[in-house]
Structure formats: C-alpha cells, structure tokens
Amino acid sequence: MNYEFHFKSRYIILYLSKFTCVIGVWLLDTSFVTSLPAIRGIQAKQEYYVVMFPLKLIPRLLSESEEDYLPPEYRAQRIINKSRIPDIASYILNNPNDYCFSSITVSLDGDMEFIPFSNEPQYKDIGKLFISLDSKLLINDGQHRKAAIEEALKVSPELGDETISVVIFKDIGLKRAQQMFADLNRHAVNTTTSIGILYDHRDQLANITKQIVSDIPLLERYTDKEKVSLPKFSPRIFTLNQIFNTNSRLINKKKGQPISGQEQEFLRQFWTLLTDSINEWKLVMKKELSPVELRANYIVAHGIFLEAIGIVGGFLFQNYPSEWKTFVKKLTLVDWSKSNKESWMGRAFSPTGRINKNSQTIQLTANMIKMNLNLPLTSDELELEKFLQVGDV
C-alpha cells in the first residue's frame, strides 16, 4: 500500500495508474496531506469512503478521544469500557491465523478530496483520498476494536502490517455525529448465547456440548440450537445454552478453559445415563407425552432443573468418582411433577406455579435432588435450607 506525504498548499498531482493517466488539481488549504487508496460510496446523498489502514497506523491516525471528559450531551460516543479491551486483544493474539474484525466507522473533521483513477464509469469510484494531516477523526463505531488493536500490537508488533477497513464520513457537526452513533447501534442485536455456542469451533466446552447433543437421540431431536428460552408451545425441550451451562456446572469449567479427556468422557456418560433415567423424557421420546405437556406439568422440562442437576452431577464427579452412576440411576424414582408441591414449590416454582429461576432457587432445587438421592448437603446448602424454612428465600 502506498502512502504519499506532500508539502505544499496548492499543487498539481500527476500520477499513472494501470487504467489511465489522470491530472488532478489539489486545493487543500493545509501544509501537509496524506493519500490513501480508497473506494467512494454514496449514502443518504452524501459521499463516504472506504480505506484500508495497516494496524500499526491505527494508534496514530485514530488518536485517543478527549470526549470521555465531557458530559454525555456534548459527546458523540459512549465512554470506553476498558474492561472489554483485554478480552478483545486476547482474541487477536490467540487467533492470529483466523481472527476477524468488522470495519471501524469514523467521521473526519478536516479537508479531504477524492480523485478517481479514471473517469470511466466503471472506475470513477476507485481512486485516492487526500486528507489534511491536521484533520481530526472521531470514531463512531469501533472504539473498543481500536483500543484492543493497540494492546495487541504491544505484544505482537508483526501484526502491524495487517489491515482493517475504515469507513470515513465527513464530519458535519456534533448533532450529526450523535445521530450516526444512534443509527449505527439502533438495529444492533447481540446473537443469542445458543448461536454463539453453535458457531464457536475454538472453545472445547462448546465443542463437547455440540457433540453430546448430536450423539444422544433425545437431545438431538429436542434441543433448540438457536433460542435461549422456549415459548409455551415449543416442540423442543432444551436449548443449546442450557446444556452448555449444565456441562459447565458438571465439570466446573467456564468458556475458554481446557477440558481433560477424563472430563469429556464423564460428560458423555453422564448425559447418556441421565437421559435414560428421567422417565418423563423417555415418554416424550416414545410420543406418549408432548413437550408442551411436559413443560406444563413437570420441572424436568425447564432450565432450572438442568442447572440444578449440573450442580448435583458436579458434586458426584468430585466426591463419588467411582459411584456416581449408581446415584444418577436413582433419579428414575423421583417425582418431578409440579403437583409434588412439598418438594418443588418455593424451589423450582413459586406458589403461583410459575418457574422461578435464579441462583438461589437453582441451588434449592439441587438441594432437594440431593436429598432425594440421600446425598449429604454442604454447610452452605444447609444454611440456605434454614432460610427457606423461615421463609426468607
């Protein structure tokens, strides 16, 4: 990529391209300019430009904003969340061969001029963008990407020759810049956790979760791989993120952490045995009970059960490594129906019959499962039971 720096206030540029010879007249009222290969586009009747910035130029050309010190009504961007930067930087450094970034969008406050390589219709929007070096660039979208790139370059300077696309708009004032920020984020919707797990091929926990779902017929047939919660009349029973969360509890591992072969084998065996030990799940598999009926009448159709069983299974894995299968098989004797209010009301569901899932009710549900299996409660679990008895939970 060729970057040209010129020292003159008014001059004529003569340059050759493989398309044609063009003479352009440059009329910037500034002493220094830089030129970048660019593509010109039109949005809302206004020109904008796409250029490729080497990563090593990002810290210099997109300098730190002073907006963080201004009240929000005088800013055109949110305050940067510095806690996000290490994660994004680690993403670049840990995946040097297949990281991927979308464009950074900026508004340029200063003089710029686009000169096409050719006036032929098919080439008129390909050319060079000349920008005065005293211009200011405001990041409308991508400030965390920019900061993470800076951090990654400190560790791996060789990344500096790689590029990121930058979309440049003409800055026409604070009001427009604020509107751009609002518009760029207006329709931004985060992907669901389930989709994130489904499309993540680096994380070991995500991969073993997908493999288990694929290998076990009940899970393969009745797991929604896109949603994070199921509507009342859904034909599914589980969501991918629920099974992922259960696995996380079973082996006490989080996303990104390595998983041993022993842990992977435990997860496979646990799910195989679990799906064979919940009678209601087997009835659904035989078409004798519908997922809708299961969801309406039993707690085993809800995420609170899956996370609670993850706690119980994790306890078994740590404390009964050679006996855990015996306990899991006993789950076939447990009454999972909502009509069993003595066991599950105040734990898995509220007096109104509504499933009540939070950290305390998940633990209380796990406690009851452990009591059904004649497993001992920990001191913390016993303390939570005391609060339940006096009605403080």
Each residue of 277-301: pLDDT tens digit? 999 999 999 999 999 999 999 999 9
Q: Is residue 211's pLDDT more than 50?
A: yes
Alpha-carbon distance of 251 to 248, in angstroms, equals 6
**Pseudo-torsion of CA 290, 296, 300, 304, nearest 10°?**
140
* Mean pLDDT lowest among 26-35, 283-292, 381-390: 26-35
Pairing of strands 238-239, 223-224: parallel
Task: Tell me what pLDDT residue 306 has.
Answer: 97
- Among residues 37, 13, 8, the alpha carbon closest in space to that of 24 is found at 13
Alpha-carbon distance of 239 to 311, in angstroms, equals 18
Task: Tell me what pLDDT residue 62 has.
Answer: 66
Task: Tell me what pLDDT residue 32 has.
Answer: 73
Question: How crowded is residue 133: how many other Cβ atoms within 10 Å of its Cβ?
Answer: 15
Q: Is residue 1's pLDDT more than 60?
A: no
Q: 3-state DSSP helix/strand/coil percent for the chain, to nearest 5?
A: 45, 20, 35
Looking at residues 324-330, what average pLDDT do you find? 97
Alpha-carbon distance of 202 to 197, in angstroms, equals 10
Q: Is residue 147's pLDDT more than 50?
A: yes
Alpha carbon distance, N-terminus to C-terminus of the chain? 64
Q: Is residue 27's pLDDT more than 90?
A: no
**Pseudo-torsion of CA 196, 198, 202, 204, nearest 10°?**
110
Residue 148 contacts residue 63 (beta carbons within 8 Å): no
Task: Tell me what pLDDT residue 175 has.
Answer: 64
Question: What count of Cα atoms within 13 Å lies in the side-chain half-sphere of residue 183?
Answer: 9
Task: Tell me what pLDDT residue 81 has.
Answer: 80
List the beta bridge partners of residue 349.
345, 355
Angle at Cα 325 formed by Cα 322 and Cα 326, nearest 5°? 95
Looking at residues 53-58, what average pLDDT do you find? 89
Task: Tell me what pLDDT residue 8 has.
Answer: 34
Tally DSSP H helices, then E strands, for the chain.
16, 12
Own/partner pairs, 114-119, CB within 8 angstroms, 24+ separation: 114/38, 114/40, 114/47, 114/49, 115/13, 115/22, 115/24, 115/26, 116/22, 116/40, 117/17, 117/19, 117/20, 117/22, 118/17, 118/19, 118/20, 118/22, 119/20, 119/22
* DSSP letter assigned to residue 30: S
Alpha-carbon distance of 147 to 26, in angstroms, equals 33
Question: What count of Cα atoms within 13 Å lies in the side-chain half-sphere of residue 342?
Answer: 4
Q: What is the pLDDT of residues 358-379, one digit of tens each?
A: 999 999 999 999 999 999 999 9
**Residue 174 confidence class, pLDDT cut points 50, 70, 90:** low
Angle at Cα 169 formed by Cα 163 and Cα 174, nearest 5°? 125
Angle at Cα 376 formed by Cα 370 and Cα 381, nearest 5°? 75
Q: Which residue has the higher pLDDT, 245 or 77?
A: 245
Q: What is the pLDDT of residues 176-201, one digit of tens each?
A: 666 766 666 666 667 788 988 998 88
Alpha-carbon distance of 237 to 290, in angstroms, equals 10
